[in-house]
């Protein structure tokens, strides 16, 4: 969902733990639709397998109309326009269902999650995309330091290079999640407030840019375009990379490429730095609790990392920055571990999930491999 970031400063979905679990559930459920995916048909993972059924409108909701007045005042928009526009939003039950956390006890499985994204359909589509936009990807890499394979990995994971950008009206998605976020969610109030901010940004952006807010479509969370930017991220990080005077993440692959690169640049991507390193454990002195405490935030120097029982080798020993222990659970099998750098962490600012970041990395690597003669 890109992006729907999982932190309030990013553009994807707001809580990584249940999001990853949800994606793992979807991965299982979608195995039956593999044949359709091979023929380029929309599959359920993207946003919705079919056109969502509209529900009640928000024109008679006092809370929605009060929000419209507040948005108009804060953003200096025409009050009647905001009211009329928001009044045409519809509650969509499928959206509320999509953000409901899965049942407790769903086992995370990196290999299953990976199989949804690092697979032949996306690799072939990525190869075609890279070949078509080779010069643009090269320019983005030169200007920002973000490797082409990372940009290609993001666009492949998010929308299969524009094939699956979502079919919910963005206005409906944001209104539903603002005014009817499921109360059963443990962070319902916080999430509702987040989406209210995104709704405000969407209305302001669409009015000022001349976009029709009633026709724009995206994911169930309101993310738009090839890179699935939320409205606030579109405003903050999207760029006119093709130089036509417009920022269009829905129809301009160049703008999508440049905007993803710019996003990572803003979130401190370090050119030339690896995203992660392999590792082993010395069990006799392994302090797993201390290593896992910071989660995915790079915290340990190479020396401190090794002092706590991690064995590094090769280029990892020369790493000048901080490292984090990244754990990828594999269901009933033993977890996988890598040493994540600041660049791995930068990818998680797009979507706050180590599973997502590794899928982006490995899909990009697979496409880069396919590019080689």
Q: Which residues are part of the catalytic machinery?
A: 158
Tell me the β-bridge partners of 333. Answer: 330
Could you give the CA distance from residue 210 to residue 275 in angstroms, rounded to a whole number? 39
CB neighbours of 201 closer than 8 A, spacing ≥ 6? 230, 231, 232, 234, 235
Give CA 68 to chain center in angstroms: 28
Report the candidate in 168, 205, 196 with the shortest Cα–Cα distance to residue 67. 196
Report the candidate in 35, 166, 194, 19 with the shortest Cα–Cα distance to residue 102. 19
Could you give the CA distance from residue 72 to residue 67 in angstroms, rounded to a whole number? 8
CB neighbours of 32 closer than 8 A, spacing ≥ 6? none
Q: Are 247 and 239 in contact (CB under 8 A)?
A: yes
């Amino acid at each position: 969902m890109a992006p729907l970031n999982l932190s309030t400063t990013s553009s994807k979905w707001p809580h990584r733990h249940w999001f990853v679990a949800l994606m793992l559930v979807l991965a299982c459920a979608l195995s039956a639709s593999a044949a359709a995916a091979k023929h380029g048909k929309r599959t359920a993972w993207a946003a919705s397998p079919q056109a969502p059924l509209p529900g009640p409108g928000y024109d008679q909701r006092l809370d929605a109309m009060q929000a419209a007045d507040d948005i108009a005042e804060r953003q200096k928009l025409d009050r009647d326009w905001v009211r009329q526009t928001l009044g045409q939003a519809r509650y969509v039950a499928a959206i509320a269902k999509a953000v409901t956390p899965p049942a407790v006890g769903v086992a995370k499985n990196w290999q299953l999650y990976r199989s949804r994204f690092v697979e032949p359909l996306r690799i072939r589509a990525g190869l075609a995309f890279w070949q078509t936009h080779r010069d643009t990807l090269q320019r983005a890499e030169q200007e920002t330091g973000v490797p082409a394979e990372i940009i290609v990995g993001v666009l492949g994971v998010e929308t299969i290079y524009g094939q699956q950008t979502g079919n919910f009206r963005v206005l409906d998605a944001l209104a539903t999640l603002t005014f009817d976020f499921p109360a059963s969610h443990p962070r319902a109030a916080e999430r509702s407030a987040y989406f209210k901010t995104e709704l405000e940004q969407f209305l302001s952006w669409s009015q000022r840019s001349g976009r029709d807010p009633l026709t724009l479509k995206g994911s169930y969370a309101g993310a738009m375009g090839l890179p699935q930017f939320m409205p606030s991220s579109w405003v903050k990080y999207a760029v006119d990379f093709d130089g036509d005077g417009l920022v269009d993440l829905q129809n301009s692959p160049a703008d999508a490429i440049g905007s993803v690169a710019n996003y990572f640049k803003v979130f401190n991507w370090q050119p030339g730095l690896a995203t992660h390193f392999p590792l082993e454990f010395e069990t006799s002195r392994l302090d797993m609790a201390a290593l896992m405490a910071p989660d995915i935030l790079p915290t340990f120097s190479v020396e401190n990392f090794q002092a706590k029982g991690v064995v590094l080798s090769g280029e990892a020993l020369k790493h000048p920055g901080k490292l984090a222990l990244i754990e990828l659970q594999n269901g009933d099998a033993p977890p996988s571990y890598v040493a994540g750098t600041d660049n791995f962490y930068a990818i998680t600012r797009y979507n706050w999930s180590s599973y997502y970041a590794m899928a982006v990395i490995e899909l990009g690597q697979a496409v880069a491999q396919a590019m080689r003669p």
